[in-house]
Chains A and B, each alone.
Chain A
Amino acid sequence: MLTGKIAFVTGASRGIGKAIALDLASQGATVIGTATSQSGAENISAYLKEAGALGSGKCLNVTDAETINSVLAEITKEFGVPTILVNNAGITRDNLLMRMKDEEWDDIIQTNLTSVFRMSKACLRGMMKAKGGRIINIASVVGVMGNAGQTNYAAAKAGIIGFSKSLAREVGARNITVNTIAPGFIDTDMTKDLPEEQRVALTAQIPLQSLGQPEDIAKAVTFLAGDGGAYITGQTLNVNGGMYMV
Chain B
Amino acid sequence: MSDIEERVKKIVVEQLGVEENQVTADASFVDDLGADSLDTVELVMALEEEFDCEIPDEEAENISTLAQATAYVEANL
Contact = CB atoms under 8 A, between A and B. Distances in A.
Interface string B23-65: 0000000000000101000100100000000000000000000
Contacts of A129: 45
A170 B38 contact: yes
B45 A125 contact: yes
A171 B45 contact: no
Nearest to A125: B45
A171 B42 CA distance: 11
Contacts of A174: 38
A35 to B, nearest CB: 30
Interface string A89-115: 000000000000000000000000000
Interface residues on A, range: under 10
Contacts of B45: 125, 128-129
Interface of B: 36, 38, 42, 45
A51 interface: no
A173 interface: yes
A173 B36 CA distance: 11
Given A125-B45, A173-B36, 7 more contacts: A128-B42, A128-B45, A129-B45, A170-B38, A171-B38, A173-B38, A174-B38
Q: Is the interface of B mostly helix, strand, loop or mixed?
A: helix
Interface string A129-166: 10000000000000000000000000000000000000
Q: Is the interface of A mostly helix, strand, loop or mixed?
A: helix
B64 to A, nearest CB: 20
Nearest to B48: A125
B17 to A, nearest CB: 13
A35 B45 CA distance: 30
A125 B38 CA distance: 11
B37 to A, nearest CB: 9
A54 B45 CA distance: 30
Contacts of B42: 128
A62 B25 CA distance: 43
Contacts of A125: 45
List 6 tightest A-B contacts by C-beta distance, closest first: A128-B42, A125-B45, A173-B38, A170-B38, A174-B38, A128-B45
Contacts of B38: 170-171, 173-174
A4 to B, nearest CB: 23
A125 to B, nearest CB: 6
A179 B34 CA distance: 29
Nearest to B46: A129
Contacts of A171: 38
A43 B50 CA distance: 39
A57 B52 CA distance: 29
Nearest to A128: B42
B28 to A, nearest CB: 20
B34 to A, nearest CB: 13
A128 B15 CA distance: 12
